[in-house]
Amino acid sequence: MKSIYEELSPVQTAGRKYVGPIVFVLLILVSALIGTSIGLLLVYSTDLPQVEELEHYRPSSTTDLYDDQGRVIGSFALQRRVVATYDDYPQVLRDALISIEDKDFYRHWGINVWRIAGAAYRDIMSGGRVQGASTLTMQLARNLFLSPDRSFHRKVQETLLAIQIERRFTKQQIFALYANQIFLGHGAYGFEAASEYYFSKPAKQLTLDEAALLAGLPKAPGYYSPITHPERALRRRNLVLNSMLEDGKITAEQATSAKSKPVQLNVQKDPNSLAPYFVEEIRRYLENKYGADQVHEGGLRVYTSLDMDLQKAANQAVLDGLAAYERRHGWKSHLPNAIAMGVPVENYQHPDWDNDPEPNGYTHALVTAVSANSATLKFGPYMATLTASQAAWTKRKIGDILALGDIVYVKVLSLSDPGKAKVSFEQDSGAQGALIAIDNASGEIKAMVGGRDFEDSKFNRATQAMRQVGSSFKPYVYTAAIDQGASPDDTILDESVSFATPSGLYTPHNYDEKFEGNITLRRALMMSRNIPALKLADRIGIKTVIDYARRFGVTSNMPPYLPVALGSAEITLFEQTSAFSVFPNDGVRITPRYITKVTDYEGRVLEEDFPDVRDVLNARTARILTSMLRDVVLHGTAVAAAGMKYPLAGKTGTTNDFTDAWFIGFSPSTTCGVWIGYDEKRPLGAKETGARAALPIWMDFMKAALAGHDPGDFQPPPITPASAVAQKIDTPDTASVTDESH
């Protein structure tokens, strides 16, 4: 019997001869490939982050500031993000995102092998590097742990991390992590923040077309931005809708209806623009206490004292008051010109245009055409025509004061579609204003305006500007006198007088250069007479007067010189306003406060502020001074406010050469201070007193602050006994008085 080998043909024998070596070589190649793969995996996985960190991961989130009604008034963030849960994202958004980004999201195990293979083939054929084909899980891994560079090394790491993520987390958890992390343009991270930014509403309220628009952004947020490239955003949105239709997520009718809609945005206004000076004060405080990282990334919740409605009223009052001042002094502006700055008219963009204009608001506009009696203005998407009547206050022809490319200041009177507006012609010569309002009962700051335009100057004139306060200092003089036994009905001689000082004789004068003779202390304060105030301060001692001002909370430097009694000391508006709140509070000082509570990301209370209350003056003296300051409004220098049907009191202040104009006043519930002046301390102009420049702003604000509220009433001062007959303050030993005139 022949062996099996004897029965094989020569060819068959030769084939059998090479089978062993071929199998051996193949085994070696497979082993090498496996070994190489394992080696590469070890190399690429040695520096991979621990996916377990995701269990405790909390993305950088926005710190929000709330007013006293829980409304957002500002925020701090490196990344605008609102962390949401899976259920916070509506089904329509989840369907849209999965259809366009990762159709097999709920079925794959972190990677899609066929998509990766297809992408790799295309990259090899085109000579490119490995890119594309990332699942949502892979994108999440890249955004959280890896660099954005496109390389084979990063792709392998991305794949390994995606597999680990899928092993440890549910699909719902992965989706939520991705939806909170992804960048969607214009500083918005995550779909909740993007929904609030682009549409001013939470993601739960998104419509189909809106959800599709957002779902199209992860691919290239800048390229498909609906703000800067609406036509690209529209095409991308419709592509998402087509993908949803193919996946059976929507019907053909729904797709057609959604695609027929234009891109309609309702871009969220910058909340910091309402009270920027107040928000900046909060930022400095928080960063000093908690550190910049915690403030800008920690998602704090800061509950403040501000009242959004009162802040709006304060903004309007200051801007309107400055506009009235500017018009009183005629046209004098030297306008900046876009063309002179090397910017073509068609390319010019002003920072004011970043925020949507509002009726009664003020903005800068660009002159795009001009004739002798009219000009065409552009601001943002709006156009307006300036006529001769609107510029009549300048007493000049439009063609003489405006040129093509000029940047002018206007008040927006009305807005209409499409892109039309009515404006009034205004001027910004550099005059500044500040206002601060404080709730008497709590010490809470309800409104703060630190200047005309925060973007132009971040210097806070309400808290940082040291300015001479003029006659608004006099109440401290009269407080000291009353507290030491004087009566409002005591008389004092208003006459020419000189005071001996270390530098020689000091001969003051009254504002009107006249003297009234014997007058009561009440009238002296009511009419803001200088000589009586100086005589009182000299009799009591200027150091005693300064001590009383310190009790009221004034901490600024006040040298012990007699002119301080007339307000030569430099004090902030914040200090003056806070100090005046002692009068309606029956002598109680409540330290002003910005913040009521701060909580962390988890809702734990980090701090809670309560009123700091101190008695600084007896109630009798406080009530007497309140009644005297009430007469300032009813019959004195602030009589313009007498027509307001509320119990009001206060004091005007005007400095030498009219460089500063003040009014500090109060109702039973609210104390408000207003200042007007130039930063460089130059004159406002002849007769620009506190009553003329500052008081109208105060009145406008207080009308809004008190409207619809029970104003209450001041506590009456004690009745002076019948035996207490008015006495003369002047006595033969009055110090340092001479008979010299002027």
Reported as a single tens digit per residue, the pLDDT across 445-486 is 999 999 999 989 999 999 999 999 999 999 999 999 999 999
Same domain? For 349 and 420 the reply is: yes
Q: Flag whether 488 is in a domain.
A: yes
Q: From CA 123, how far away is CA 127, in angstroms rounded?
A: 6
Residue 116 or 6, more confident: 116
Do residues 149 and 42 share a domain?
no
Q: Which two tokens stand for residue 707?
A: 């409207």
| 735: helix, strand or coil | coil
Catalytic residue among 61, 99, 101, 243: 101
| Residue 680 banded pLDDT, cuts 50, 70, 90 | very high
Model pLDDT, residue 127: 52
Residues 154 and 225 in one domain: yes
The model's confidence at residue 44, banded by pLDDT at 50, 70 and 90, is: very low
Tell me what pLDDT residue 157 has.
77
Our answer to whether residue 487 is catalytic in this structure is: no
* pLDDT tens column, 494-548: 999 999 888 889 999 999 999 999 999 999 999 999 999 999 999 999 999 999 9
Selected residue with higher pLDDT from 573 and 60: 573
Question: End of a domain among 564, 593, 616?
Answer: 564
Between the two ends of the chain, the Cα-to-Cα distance in Å is 152
- Looking at residue 41, its pLDDT comes to 45
Domain check: are 225 and 130 in the same one? Answer: yes
Distances in whole angstroms, Cα of residue 413 to Cα of each of 267, 416, 422, 424, 679:
22, 10, 5, 7, 29
Residues 406, 547 within the same domain: no
Choice between 116 and 383, residue whose per-residue pLDDT is larger: 383
Which residues sit opposite 571 in a β-bridge? 467
Whether 709 maps to a domain, the answer reads: no
Same domain, 41 and 85: no
Asked if residues 474 and 565 have their Cβ atoms less than 8 Å apart, the reply is yes
Residue 247 has pLDDT above 90, yes or no: yes
Q: What is the pLDDT of residue 114?
A: 62
Calculate ∠ Cα 570-573-578, nearest 5°.
115
Average pLDDT over every residue of 324-335: 92
Residue 741, pLDDT above cutoff 50: no
Q: pLDDT, tens digit, for every residue of 183-203? A: 999 989 999 999 999 999 999
> Is residue 101 situated within a structural domain?
yes
Of 519, 546, 564, the domain-final residue: 564
Going edge to edge, which strands form the sheet with 72-76?
72-76, 63-66, 301-304, 595-599, 605-608
Distance CA 257, CA 235 (A): 15
Are 102 and 246 contained in the same domain?
yes
Look at residue 356 and tell me whether its pLDDT is greater than 60. Answer: yes
Question: Which DSSP string do the residues of 226-273 spell out, in sequence order?
Answer: TTT-HHHHHHHHHHHHHHHHHTTSS-HHHHHHHHTS-----PPP-GGG
Residue-wise pLDDT for 288-302, tens only, equals 999 999 999 899 999
Q: How many CA atoms lie within 13 A of 5 on its CB side?
A: 5
Residue 736 pLDDT greater than 60, yes or no: no
> Range with the lowest mean pLDDT among 74-88, 648-662, 709-723?
709-723
What is the rounded distance in angstroms from the CA atom of residue 140 to the CA atom of residue 182? Answer: 8
Q: Are residues 123 and 36 in the same domain?
A: no
Whether residue 575 is contained in a domain is answered as no
pLDDT more than 70, % of the chain: 85
As a whole number, mean pLDDT of residues 385-390 equals: 93
pLDDT at site 32: 52
Catalytic-role residue among 61, 99, 243, 471? 471
Same domain, 416 and 355: yes
Distance of CA 620 to the CA centre of its chain: 41
Provide mean pLDDT across the span 77-86: 88
Residue 245 resides in a domain:
yes
Asked whether the beta carbons of 579 and 554 are under 8 A apart, the reply is: yes
Q: Within a domain: residue 91?
A: yes
CATH code (residue 354): 2.40.50.140
Give, as one character, the DSSP assignment of residue 298.
B
Number of domains in the chain: 4
101 catalytic? Reply is yes
Range of the domain at 33: 4-46
What DSSP character marks residue 385?
E
Structural contact between residues 651 and 443, judged by C-beta atoms closer than 8 angstroms: no
- Give the closest residue to 184 by CA, choosing from 112, 115, 233, 245: 233
- Better pLDDT: 158 or 385: 385
The predicted pLDDT at position 18 comes to 60
Structure confidence at residue 49 as a pLDDT band (50, 70, 90): low
Is residue 245 located within the same domain as residue 358? no
